Chain A
């Protein structure tokens, strides 16, 4: 089966600019996650979707980050305006069962804010 697709792979922007990331999960996976991975750290959950509804966005900095999953398939994560500390890899994962074993991660988008 095809994996989790993410684009772009890399993005460099200036602070205060906006940026958007796209994720296409594995077909049939109802649960979709966005994780932020800062260099030298483990991934940290930003938001979890079940179909097109938000399950948990408690760790999403809502003053600047937004995410949507229209039609319960693809998802976009947006940052506006970006700060230097947003430099990180943004990983998308999808799951059929909701258990850890069912997670499949994409290759991520590496964001550099200068």
Chain B
């Protein structure tokens, strides 16, 4: 099946710093999504990307759909304590079923 490699696995940053994480796939996706998961909760959608090369922002978050359609990047600027959590990339292929394949997650810790 499709595999998503997400890196880094974990990050420790100071409050106010910027952070980047990325995801690569062995297969092409038509949609890339980035989710955040807080402890004891399900993933919540942050950003959705639909076209190769697309750059989309949501507040301090910016994500890009790689031009090869096999990768995506998420940047968080000026981190704050509430950014703590696990960030997942997810890819969605074309086709009738269109299930999401998730990466293994990036655990973000923001130090005061």
Cβ-defined contact, B99 with A45, below 8 A: yes
**In the assembly, what is the distance between CA of A108 and CA of B41, in Å?**
7
Residues of B contacting A107 with CB < 8 Å?
A: 40-42
Residues of A contacting B90 with CB < 8 Å?
A: 42, 100
Say yes or no for B64: interface residue by CB 8 A criterion.
no
Interface centre among B33, B96, B102 (most CB of A within 10 A): B102
Determine how close the nearest CB of chain A comes to the CB of B3; give it in whole angstroms.
11
Partner of A42, one of B1, B41, B98, B103: B103
Determine how close the nearest CB of chain B comes to the CB of A47; give it in whole angstroms.
10
**In the assembly, what is the distance between CA of A23 and CA of B6, in Å?**
29
Chain B residues 38 to 77 lying within 8 A of chain A, measured CB to CB, are: 40-45, 48
**In the assembly, what is the distance between CA of A107 and CA of B98, in Å?**
22
Say yes or no for A98: interface residue by CB 8 A criterion.
yes
Determine how close the nearest CB of chain A comes to the CB of B39; give it in whole angstroms.
10
Partner of B98, one of A98, A105, A108: A98
Interface size on A, residues (CB 8 A): 24
Determine how close the nearest CB of chain A comes to the CB of B43; give it in whole angstroms.
5
Please give the residue numbers on chain A whose beta carbons come within 8 Å of chain B beta carbons, in ascending order. Answer: 4, 33, 40-45, 48, 55-56, 59, 91, 93, 98-101, 103, 105-108, 110
Please give the residue numbers on chain B whose beta carbons come within 8 Å of chain A beta carbons, in ascending order. Answer: 1, 4, 6, 31, 33, 40-45, 48, 88, 90, 92, 96-105
**Other contacts beyond A40-B104, A106-B42: 18, CB < 8 A:** A42-B6, A42-B90, A42-B104, A42-B105, A45-B100, A45-B101, A55-B97, A56-B97, A59-B1, A98-B98, A100-B31, A100-B48, A100-B90, A100-B92, A100-B98, A101-B33, A107-B41, A108-B41
Closest 8 CB pairs of A and B: A105-B42, A42-B102, A101-B48, A100-B33, A100-B92, A45-B99, A43-B102, A56-B97
